[in-house]
Chain A
């Protein structure tokens, strides 16, 4: 599968970078433990980004095949319990080496075992004891599992007593937007199917009434926000009535206007002059999730057909990484 390639290439890159900057770390007098911390952190981040599928069909494979997923997680964590772990392979290796000297026939066995245990030993021992608390608190898989989850926050409904409050203090029988449901403000019997009433109650208010109404609503909203109740909902109704007020003012209170039933008012949108220069070049610069980073050998066009030959690419498509050595693309413009 292609994703094995991705995993092994990433493993190679990480190891290659870490190996080649070791000298720079030494030259700058930075402790080698920092280098290992960098490697561990990098591997964790790659694993968490889930751009390669470590968990698909290969889940049954032993943990050693998952350089990012398993070993890099577990090694620092298990180190606390683990002086015995590196010791075990070492003793078996020496034991098999000892037996190898006795019967020369089993020579291949020790030659394969020590490299594995050696790298394991190396990485575990280099993890400094001083870093352990830091490492353990920061990188336990259990700790990270909750990070991306949405919090289950349900905004509380505004208390219904508000409705009766405004209604009773209001001589003109003005109800809150949405109060039309009660049936007391709609003179006509046409059932409303386009959501809650928005402006019909406000159309017949005078300027003074309107100002009073808005001020009251504003105070209510402030009070509600202070008490931490449903700020989102309140802002919404506020903007609605604000729009309605503007519309009412524009209509000049002639006593007659057609209630708007086709959604929000769109006349007062600032359309500008419509110049091409007004468009920010969003199409190019929007950070799309899917991106291909590569090099091109050739890009050619005939009429509206484009052909390009790309090489050495990293593609991030739908949250997964793909690598290609060469790619041919055909586009139609």
Chain B
């Protein structure tokens, strides 16, 4: 399973899954190994869904506060970004981007 990125687990849907799994572990219904297996499946499913089921394009401009590249992972901290997304535009005061090096899902 290691060929899939795990960083999508920090998304809201991933965190929700982690919470749910945690509750089931706490209540003794499943063991941690099974939870890890579910999360590995989540890594696959979310990568698959994002690459095949999402066609939206976005552009954004921002002031770059801070950046870091470590082990092929870029981290950007942007201030006052403006996202153009479909027809709507979204602004925020701060946003953090965590980007892993792109590769075809499933390939090493």
Digit string of B55-95 for contact with A (CB within 8 Å is 1, else 0)?
11111111111111100001111100001011010101011
Digit string of B15-26 for contact with A (CB within 8 Å is 1, else 0)?
111011101100
The segment from A214-222, A261-269, A282-290 that touches chain B is: A282-290
The distance in angstroms between the C-alpha atoms of A12 and B53, with both chains bound, is: 9
- Residues of chain A within 8 A (CB-CB) of B68 are 284
Q: Is A299 an interface residue (CB 8 A)?
A: yes
- Residues of chain A within 8 A (CB-CB) of B12 are 46, 49, 51, 314, 316, 321
User: How many residues on A have C-beta within 8 angstroms of the other chain's C-beta atoms?
Assistant: 61
User: Is the CB–CB distance between B47 and A312 below 8 Å?
Assistant: yes
Q: Given A291-B96, A297-B102 in contact, is the A315-B56 Cβ separation under 8 Å?
A: no
Q: Is B11 an interface residue (CB 8 A)?
A: yes
- Residues of chain A within 8 A (CB-CB) of B55 are 325
- A-B pairs, 10 with minimum CB distance: A45-B16, A331-B64, A295-B102, A290-B95, A312-B50, A296-B99, A41-B20, A327-B58, A16-B45, A324-B58
Cβ distance B25 to chain A, nearest Cβ, rounded Å? 11
Q: Which residue from chain A places its CB closest to the CB of B57 in the assembled complex?
A: A326
Cβ distance B29 to chain A, nearest Cβ, rounded Å? 5
Q: What are 29 A-B pairs at a CB distance below 8 A?
A: A2-B86, A5-B56, A9-B50, A12-B45, A13-B45, A17-B45, A24-B34, A30-B29, A41-B19, A42-B17, A283-B66, A288-B94, A290-B95, A295-B5, A296-B101, A308-B99, A310-B99, A314-B46, A315-B83, A322-B58, A322-B83, A325-B51, A326-B57, A327-B57, A328-B60, A329-B60, A330-B61, A332-B64, A333-B63
The distance in angstroms between the C-alpha atoms of A98 and B102, with both chains bound, is: 54
Cβ distance B54 to chain A, nearest Cβ, rounded Å? 5
Q: Which residue from chain A places its CB closest to the CB of B63 in the assembled complex?
A: A332
User: Is the CB–CB distance between B57 and A288 below 8 Å?
Assistant: no
User: Is the CB–CB distance between A293 and B11 below 8 Å?
Assistant: yes
User: Is the CB–CB distance between A308 and B56 below 8 Å?
Assistant: no
- Residues of chain A within 8 A (CB-CB) of B61 are 329-331
User: Is the CB–CB distance between B38 and A41 below 8 Å?
Assistant: no
Task: Please classify how large the interface on chain B is, using the bins under 10, 10 to 19, 20 to 34, 35 or more.
Answer: 35 or more
A13-B45, A299-B69 are known contacts; what are 18 more A-B pairs with Cβ within 8 Å?
A9-B53, A13-B42, A13-B49, A21-B34, A28-B33, A41-B19, A45-B17, A49-B12, A284-B66, A291-B97, A294-B97, A312-B54, A312-B102, A317-B83, A323-B54, A324-B57, A325-B54, A332-B64
Cβ distance B38 to chain A, nearest Cβ, rounded Å? 5
- Residues of chain B within 8 A (CB-CB) of A325 are 50-51, 54-57
User: Is the CB–CB distance between B5 and A324 below 8 Å?
Assistant: no
Q: Is A8 an interface residue (CB 8 A)?
A: yes
Cβ distance A131 to chain B, nearest Cβ, rounded Å? 11
User: Is the CB–CB distance between A49 and B16 below 8 Å?
Assistant: yes
User: Is the CB–CB distance between A30 and B30 below 8 Å?
Assistant: yes
The distance in angstroms between the C-alpha atoms of A46 and B42, with both chains bound, is: 14
Digit string of B33-46 for contact with A (CB within 8 Å is 1, else 0)?
11001100110111
- Residues of chain B within 8 A (CB-CB) of A152 are none
Cβ distance A311 to chain B, nearest Cβ, rounded Å? 6
The distance in angstroms between the C-alpha atoms of A296 and B34, with both chains bound, is: 31
Q: Is A38 an interface residue (CB 8 A)?
A: yes
Contact with A284, one of B8, B19, B33, B75 (Cβ below 8 angstroms): B75
- Residues of chain A within 8 A (CB-CB) of B33 are 28
Q: Is A253 an interface residue (CB 8 A)?
A: no
- Residues of chain A within 8 A (CB-CB) of B37 are 21, 24
User: Is the CB–CB distance between A290 and B10 below 8 Å?
Assistant: no
